[in-house]
Every structure is written in C-alpha cells, then in structure tokens.
Amino acid sequence: MQFVDYVKIYVKAGDGGRGCVSFRREKYVARGGPNGGDGGRGGHVIIKSTRELNTLLDFKYKREYKARRGEHGKGKNMHGKDGEDMIINVPVGTVIKDGESGEIIVDFDSEGKYQVVARGGRGGLGNAHFATPVRQAPRFAQPGEGGEERWLVLELKLLADVGLIGLPNAGKSTLISVITSAKPKIADYPFTTLVPTLGVVKLSNFKSFVVADIPGLIEGAHKGAGLGYQFLRHVERTSVLVHLIDVSYMAEGDPIDNFEKINRELRLYSSALLEKYQIVAATKIDVADKKRLDSLEQYCKINSIDFFTVSALTGQGVKKLVPYLALKVEKKEQRAGGVE
C-alpha cells in the first residue's frame, strides 16, 4: 500500500432547503391560512479518527467532499428533511489545518474523536411563520442558507513512542526489524526505506511500545533534500529519539559531524524537536572502527548523552538498549499523566 501523509481537500456542507409558500385548501373553508413548512438543514461535513486506516491514500484520488442539501419545505406545515451528514474517516494521528490560514482546526491524537469542519446551511422558514393580524396571507418564504465550504490540509503524523533517526545506512531498518516484527526493505545503499516504518516492541516486564523508523534524513532535509522534509513531521509525535550513528570502518564522514548534522536539521525544522529526550546508539560495532567509536563515546560523555553500542546483525547490545527504551517510555507516560 502506498503511504500518503499529506493531502489537501475541498469540503462543502449541504445548503439549507427553501421554506415553502402554501395555503390551506379545505372544502367549505373559504380562505385558508398559510401553512408552508420550513426547509431542512443542510448536512454537516464531519471528520472522525479511526485506527482502521494508516494512510491518507484515499484522499489522493478523491479531493472533493460534499454533504447533501436539506429538503425544501412542503405544504400542510411539513418540514423538509435535514440533509445527511457526511462523515470522513482519517487515521489516528491526523492533524487538520485550514487550507488558507494554516491554523490547526483539530489534532486527532486518539481514536473516536470527531470534528465538524463545515456546517450545513440553516433551512429557510415557510410562510406560516410570517402570518400576522395585519398580513394574514404572506406570499413569501425564506430561502435556505448556503452550507460552509473550505479547503483543508490533512497531515498525518505517526503516533510512535520511540523514533529512530540518523543518516541513510545508519542501520535503522535493520534494528527495527530485529526488535519488532516489522519487515522494512534492507539493502546496502542509501534511501532503501522510502516511507516511515512502524513496529511494536513487546517485553515481558514492560508495557509494549511503538518504534518508528524515520527515513531519508540528510543535511538540508529541512529544505527538502533527500526525503527528510517529507517525514520530519513524524518525529514530532515521539517521546524518545534514538540517534543511530554508523561507526564501522566503511562509514562516511566523522561520527560527531554526522550527529551534529542531523540535530541541526531537527532544530531548523522545529526547535521543539531538540527538546525531546535523545540517546545515541553506535551501530555496526561488529565491524567498528575503534577510533571512530572511541571519539563518539567520549563526545557523548562530555555532553551527558546516554550512549549505547549495538550490532543489529549479531544482537550485541540490543538486549541492553531495548529495556532501557521501555523504561524511558514508561516514565514519559507517567510524567505526562501527572504521576511522579
């Protein structure tokens, strides 16, 4: 399935039905009074979150969503039926923004939330409402009001507890395939992962947590280089970041420079990302360059950054890293819930 996480759609609520102009027509009643009914309300456009979806793919092919109009009023004081509401389902984690101002309308961070994004027009009043002692036979009624219409931007931000970040080929896909049941594409060339990958880590003594492999971060990602700008939004949901750095003898660039490049991109995209708890995991230590490994470890010690060494291929260090992440996620959740 194609992963789509950003779309723009047009929504139009239903127009209200017209009020009716009608008069009583009864045998032996010479002059029946007005009995025109009211028009029905136009249908609302409602967006609702669900876990049954995990992409915005459907919105790529259908961009317009219109609710039904209300029925017109009828004689004998019969009101028109309200238009049927249109309910649009989106994945949990979707943020709805106004297409013009960019203002956030609603953040669907949990299942079952809903929001009316376009209200249906009010139905017009029938002529029965306008009868007075002076004007006993009004020959007019109200038209229905037009339904609201607007452009909306839908952004999907994955809900993950832990985000794996780092340069291409740092070992993110391999690690997530080892600690979860996720099966990302793995190869020895950059940008093998073209979409974010989610996996669930299950440990016997801890609550399970979700890990996301964030692809395509390179220098200039915040400007659109690589795939980073497209997927940096998914880092915003995570509570813990694991910064993977290749310390093997095949790796390119200085490990400390590589670490600072990615953090610079995070800061330029959103300064809030650097406030997230971040640890460093030196990867591919089964073929490590000792000089690279030692310099990175010393850098982390000086800057009080928790440091781990792992080899997803051999499993070395994984059993130490994963429980540590589970504990950090648990503490973050307790803190967010006000539990100390």
Rounded to the nearest integer, the mean pLDDT of the chain is 87
* Short-list 301, 219, 305, 225, CA closest to 267: 219
> Which H, E and C letters describe 113-180, residue by residue?
CEEEEECCCCCCCCHHHHCCCCCCCCCCCCCCCCCCEEEEEEEECCCCCEEEECCCCCCHHHHHHHHC
State mean pLDDT over 178-183: 78
Domains of the chain, residue spans: 1-156, 162-336
pLDDT level of residue 78 (50, 70, 90 thresholds): very high
88 contacts 37 by C-beta, under 8 angstroms? no
Residues 111, 49: Cα–Cα separation, whole Å: 5
Only one residue has tokens 């470890």, namely: 297
Q: What is the largest CA-CA distance in the chain?
A: 108
Phi, psi values for residue 194, rounded to 5°: -105, -10
Residues 236, 276: Cα–Cα separation, whole Å: 9
237 contacts 332 by C-beta, under 8 angstroms? no
Instruction: Supply 159's token pair.
Output: 């809900």
Cβ contacts of residue 296 below 8 Å, gap of 6+?
245, 247, 255, 256, 259, 280, 282, 307
State mean pLDDT over 166-192: 71
300 contacts 256 by C-beta, under 8 angstroms? no
The answer, yes or no, to whether residue 180 has pLDDT greater than 90, is no
Indicate the class that CATH gives domain 1-156: mainly beta
CATH number, domain 162-336: 3.40.50.300
Only one residue has tokens 């038209």, namely: 143
pTM exceeding the 0.85 threshold for the entire prediction:
no
pLDDT level of residue 53 (50, 70, 90 thresholds): confident
Tell me: the pLDDT tens digits for 262-307?
Answer: 898 888 888 888 888 999 999 999 999 999 999 999 999 999 999 9
